[in-house]
Every structure is written in C-alpha cells, then in structure tokens.
Amino acid sequence: MPVTTLNEVRPAAAGTPPSPRPLPLAAAVALAVVAGLALLAAFPPYGWWPLAAVGVAALAAAAHRRRARAGAALGFLTGVTLFAPLLAWTNLHTGYLPWVLLSLSQAAYMALLGAATAYVSPLVDRRRALWPVATALLWVGQEALRDRTPFGGFPWGRLAFSQGDSPLLRLAGLGGAPLVTVAVALAGGLLATLSWRSWRRPRPHTVAPAVGLAAVVAAALAVPVGVRGGGEQVTVAIVQGNVPRLGLDFNAQRQAVLDNHVEATLGLARQVTAGQARRPDLVVWPENSSDIDPLRDTTAGARISRAADTIGAPILVGAVLRGPGEGQVRNAGLLWRPGSGPDTGQLYTKRHPVPFAEYVPMRNLARMVSKQVDRIRADFVPGDTPGVLRTGDAVLGDVICFEVAYDGLVRDTVTGGAELLVVQTNNATFDESEALQQMAMVRLRAVEHGRGALMASTVGVSGFVSPDGRVDGATGFNTGAVVVRQIRLGTGSTPATRMGVWPEVALLVAAGLVLAGAAVRRRRPVPPG
C-alpha cells in the first residue's frame, strides 16, 4: 500500500477505492503560518538558517493535494507572515502604507508558489521521489519572477540570503544564489517527503529522504571556497562617519554628514602618523557620504581633497551629483585622489535606482496612494556601465546599496576585472535589521565570485568579508567607526562567475517541465489508493 498520512484518506463506501486527501484545513493553515515564521527566523537578525528548510517543508505539506486556489491562499498567508516582519524596517520613517503595499506585493509571489505546489500534487503523488525536486524548482521559479518584476524586482528574502552561516553557502561558488536556493528548498522538500507518511506503519524506504538530506549537506561541504588566484594584498580603510540623526531627514544636515566622514579620515591619518595604524592604500566612504555635489560645490570638494591629501590615499566617495541634465541627479561612487582631486574617469553611477525611493514610476498615480512620493523632488538618473573602478593598487567592483541583491549587477563587475567587491550603502533611513540582511547578501557575493568584499555604511553595519563568507571587523549601528584591514585581491573566476545566469535558466526550464508533467498527469485518473 502506498505511503500516506494519517489524515489523507477519506472513508469510502464499500467497493470504492480511497481517494488521496490533503491535511485538514486547520492544520494546513497552522502549517502555513509556521512556514512564514520559520523562514523569517532563518534571516538576519535572527540567523537560524536551518529553519529555512523547515519553512519550505511546512508550506509544501500545507499546499499538497489542495486546489490551486487554496494553495494560493496558503502561500499568501506564508508570504504575509514572512515579509511583513522581514520588511518592517521600511515603515520606520515613511509610514505604514509603503510597508503594507510592499509586503503584500511580495506575498503575492508566495501565493503563486502555493498554487504551483498544489498544482503539481498529482505528479508527486505518482512519483514521490519527485517531491523534493519539484519543491526546489518551484522555489527558484518564484524567486526568479520576484527578482525581476515589477520595476526591476525586489530580491529581498531569497532563501540563499538566509544561509550566511550554513555549509550550503559554499554552493554559491558553483551556481550563485539560485543554486543555494535550490539546495535549501531541496532540503525542505526532503523533509516534507520524510514527514508525509504514516508513523504507525513505518516503511524501510522512508530512510531514502533522510539519506538524501544528508547528501545535500555533504555535497555542499565538499565544495572548496577561498581566494581564486594569487592577487596582491592591499590595505583598505572603511570610514563610517555616522549621521546627526536617523530618518528621512538625515540629509537635511548634509554638511554635518560630510564633515563626519572628513574628520574620521583625518583622525585615521593622525593614527597613521603616530604609528598606531597602517596607512591604507584605499579609503572607502559610504553612499551619501557627500550629498553636496563636490564637483560643483568648491567647499565640499576642498574638504574631501584635504582628507585625501592628509591620509595620502584615494578615497572612494559616495556622492550625489547633479546632472547630466537640468533637474537630474545621480547616485555615484567617485574616486578622489590625493594631490589631484576627483578622477571623473573612475566614476560609477548607480544603475538600479530604487523605485519610489530614488525615482517615482507613475508619479501622478503614486501620489494618489501616498503624498510621501513628493519628498523625491528629482528622479535619479540610472547609469549604464558596470562599477569597475581602477585605483592604481586595485580594481574595484562597486555596487551601491540594494544593488548587491541583484546577481547580474555584481557579476559584471567581476567579469569586467574587479579584484575586490565594494558595497557602498546608506542605512540611515532604516534600522540594524536591514543592514544585517544586506551584509548577508555581501557574504554570498564574496563566496559566489571568490572575492574579498566590504560594505561601507553611513551608520552601520560596515565590515569586511573574506572569500569564504566570514565577516571581519563588523561595526555597530548608529555610531561612528573606522576599520582598517589587509585584504588579498582576487584574480581568478569561479564556475558561478563564468556561467552567469545559465544555471538559473536551466533550473527554470526544469521547473517548466515539472509544471508540464503535472498538467499531463492531472488529465489522467488517479489510481486506487
């Protein structure tokens, strides 16, 4: 007799074979909530990464054998339970409406996942070994869609970003974030398969999912991580200047923010002169460290030049630049050299401005939803070239703020020659949870591309990340800090770097085949039992 749960068989009349049944609705609803809570606990600031697989398993079991509409409702419930608290930092200074709309929009993708999970039930009932595989592929499909739509997508909450301390993080070097997500979801599917059985009638073949689960972890541990190639060592300083006050009006005191970063750099120079610190080859300031355009404001430019001349090293400045057109602005990383000032040939303009934060799509319609959009007086103009910046001692791969969440924006800096990944960010409008979630993304990128990496924030968390994903010198939140480290440059390439998007494409094709197989299966009668 096939393996069943205790509750999945409906009592049948004499001579009628029993039909497969889902879990009772109350149990399914409870499992959907448990799924969201388990997924939430896997992400920073909690970081209980094994619970990501538990959350995947709970949603898989909740939606199994239900109608697609019911599966969608359960997926939506999981999504709200996950995203509402995960993205709570978005409501700190903008009000509840943007937070609610963003959380609901992300939960809608989880609804699609729940519907797809329910849809493939006849297929996985027929071939139970397909359940973990189908679960993993559907998760990748959901994330691929969410990462790209609408307005360029919002990749926050990808399973891969919950695995900073997990052995599965090693898989990023083979296939990037999609492969890590597959491994986590596959582990969750194996847990669901292992649990979906009658514990009163244990069967020997139920050992197979447990063996498969162990095999996933063992395979990840076998993947090597570390520096690719033999690059030189450079000394890099992160300057976290802090802001006068957190919130949307942090830049109302733009001069104070710039002064904080200048003074912190001058303080480091005094330590170097006194022999208390190593002289850096590069100083990195965060995003928005100069919201006064230093290319047009001579006072701001002179302050930065003084800092660069005194420390005797180039400074990567996070600056808001006016232009190129009238009323336009750019969010940029600009290299400022000692003795010569701004090197406009080494300038990166953020390619993916944040919708409704740095530019407003459909402004008239958006204003009807919230007048907060009028805080954005000028839309930021996107750049069109990768952030490959040459300092003389190193080639940097610069991305700004939440660009680190996008696979392609980071990868093309490495294929362009980047030896060190740099993330300039401003967390003054959010909280420490958001900063820690962003640092988890930096950790994955370091492993994915075999590069040392760093994150420089105005208020924290800043720090260095080694190519095996370990964080060094992490700063506190809402405080000033300077961290100096030696870091080895990377010169080789990982399989993930070389293959780019193709592993994800292959996984999406496989997901399509699973859905097609389920469509064929649903046209056939279910066999007895």
Return the number of other C-beta atoms located less than 10 Å from residue 263's C-beta: 15
Instruction: Please say if 401 is a catalytic residue.
Output: yes
**Residue from 157, 148, 3, 161 nearest 83 by CA:** 157
For 39, phi then psi, to 5°, come to -65, -45
DSSP state of 211: H
Catalytic residue among 8, 143, 287, 419: 287
Instruction: Please say if 448 is a catalytic residue.
Output: no
**Residue from 375, 325, 315, 385 nearest 349 by CA:** 385
Tokens of residue 407, six digits: 């696979």
Tokens of residue 513, six digits: 């085949």
Catalytic residue among 401, 403, 419, 434: 401
Q: Indicate the length of the chain as a whole number.
A: 529
CB 457 within 8 A of CB 286: yes
Residue labelled with tokens 């919130």 = 247
Helix (H, G, I), strand (E, B) or coil at 278: coil
Tokens of residue 434, six digits: 């958001």
CB 521 within 8 A of CB 122: yes
CB 290 within 8 A of CB 318: yes
Instruction: Please say if 350 is a catalytic residue.
Output: yes
Tell me, letter by letter, the H, E, C secondary structure of 109-175: HHHHHHHHHHHCHHHHHHCCCHHHHHHHHHHHHHHHHHCCCCCCCCCCCCHHHHCCCCHHHHHHHHH
Q: What is the distance between the terminal CA atoms of the chain, rounded to a whole angstrom? A: 7
Q: Which residues of 76-108 are buried (b: 16+ CB within 10 A; e: fewer)?
A: bbbbbbbbbbbbebbbebbeeebbeebbeebbb
Beta bridge partners of 29: none
Residue 390 CB partners (closer than 8 Å, separation 6+): 346, 396
Maximum distance among all Cα pairs of the chain, rounded to whole angstroms? 93
CB 126 within 8 A of CB 90: no
Q: Is the torsion defined by CA of 337, 342, 344, 349 positive or negative?
A: positive
Catalytic residue among 143, 350, 403, 504: 350
| Catalytically annotated residues | 287, 350, 401
